[in-house]
A and B are shown apart, each in its own frame.
Chain A
Amino acid sequence: MTRPQQWRPTAATSRAAVIATTGTVAAVLAGRPTLLVLVAPLLVAAALALAGRPRRTPSVGTDFDHHALHEGQGTTSRLVLADAEDVEQVTRVASPEPFLAVRPAGGRVTGLLAAGPVDLEFSPQRWGRRVVGEEAVALTSPWAGFRWGPTTIIGDQVRVLPIGLHYASHAESPQPRGLVGAHRSSRPGSGTEFAGIRAFVPGDRLRRINWRVSARTDQLHVTTTRAEEDAGVLLVVDAIADHGRSGGVDGAESSLDLTVRAAAAVAEHATRQGDRVSLRVLGRSLSQVGYGSGQRHLRRVLGTLASIQPGSAHDGELERLQLRATEGTMVVVLSPMLTEVVATLTATAVRRGLPTLVVDTMPEDAEAGLDPAADPLLADLAWRMRRLEREQVLASLATLGCPVVPWRGPGTIDEVTHRLARRARQPHLGMR
Chain B
Amino acid sequence: MTGQVIGQVMPPWTRGQWALRLVVLAGPVLATVAAGLTGDPPGRLGLGVVVAASLGFALFPESPAGTVAFATVLLTWGLGSSPSTPPGVVLAAGALVAAHVAALLASYGPADLPLDRRLTLTWLVRGAALFLVAPVVWLLARALEGQPEPAGLWVTAVAALAVAAVVATTALGPRSRA
Interface size class, chain B: 35 or more
One of A12, A27, A42 near B96 (C-beta < 8 A): A42
Return chain A residues, CB-CB under 8 Å to B145: 33
Looking at the complex, which of A84-92, A157-165, A415-423 is the stretch in contact with chain B?
A84-92
Return chain B residues, CB-CB under 8 Å to A86: 174
Q: List 19 A-B contacts (CB under 8 A).
A: A12-B100, A23-B74, A33-B137, A33-B141, A34-B78, A34-B86, A40-B137, A41-B96, A41-B130, A43-B165, A48-B165, A48-B172, A89-B119, A108-B113, A111-B116, A112-B122, A138-B109, A140-B108, A144-B108
- A289 is an interface residue with CB less than 8 A from chain B: no
Interface string of B48-71 (1 = CB under 8 A from A): 000000000000011100110011
Contact B118 A111 (CB under 8 A): yes
CB-contacts of A1-28 with B (<8 A):
10-12, 14-16, 18-19, 22-24, 26-28
One of B31, B112, B122, B155 near A108 (C-beta < 8 A): B112
> Binding site of B, secondary structure by majority: helix, strand, loop or mixed?
helix
Return chain B residues, CB-CB under 8 Å to A109: 113-114, 116
A25 nearest in chain B by CB position: B158
Contact B174 A31 (CB under 8 A): no
Contact A35 B168 (CB under 8 A): no
Contact A141 B134 (CB under 8 A): no
- A155 is an interface residue with CB less than 8 A from chain B: no
Contact B109 A33 (CB under 8 A): no
User: How far is B109's CA from A41's CA once the two chains are assembled, in angstroms?
Assistant: 24
One of B66, B67, B77 near A35 (C-beta < 8 A): B77
Contact B177 A114 (CB under 8 A): yes
User: How far is B165's CA from A143's CA once the two chains are assembled, in angstroms?
Assistant: 13
Beyond A33-B141, A37-B138, A86-B174, 12 additional pairs, beta carbon < 8 A:
A18-B71, A19-B67, A22-B74, A38-B73, A38-B92, A40-B133, A41-B130, A44-B130, A110-B115, A111-B116, A112-B116, A115-B118
In order of increasing CB-CB distance, the 7 nearest A-B pairs are A47-B165, A33-B141, A51-B169, A11-B62, A12-B104, A41-B130, A142-B174
Provided the pairs A15-B70, A36-B137, A45-B130 are in contact, do residues A28 and B78 lie with their beta carbons within 8 angstroms? no
CB-contacts of A205-226 with B (<8 A):
none
Contact B174 A52 (CB under 8 A): yes
B149 nearest in chain A by CB position: A31
Contact A111 B119 (CB under 8 A): yes
One of B67, B107, B112, B144 near A18 (C-beta < 8 A): B67
- A425 is an interface residue with CB less than 8 A from chain B: no
Contact B119 A38 (CB under 8 A): no
Contact B74 A26 (CB under 8 A): yes
One of A33, A34, A37, A47 near B80 (C-beta < 8 A): A34
B169 nearest in chain A by CB position: A51
Return chain A residues, CB-CB under 8 Å to B71: 18-19, 22
Provided the pairs A10-B107, A15-B66, A40-B93 are in contact, do residues A28 and B155 lie with their beta carbons within 8 angstroms? yes
Return chain A residues, CB-CB under 8 Å to B118: 111-112, 115
Contact B161 A40 (CB under 8 A): yes
- B103 is an interface residue with CB less than 8 A from chain A: yes
Return chain B residues, CB-CB under 8 Å to A16: 100
A17 nearest in chain B by CB position: B67
CB-contacts of B106-135 with A (<8 A):
107-110, 112-116, 118-119, 122, 126, 130-131, 133-134
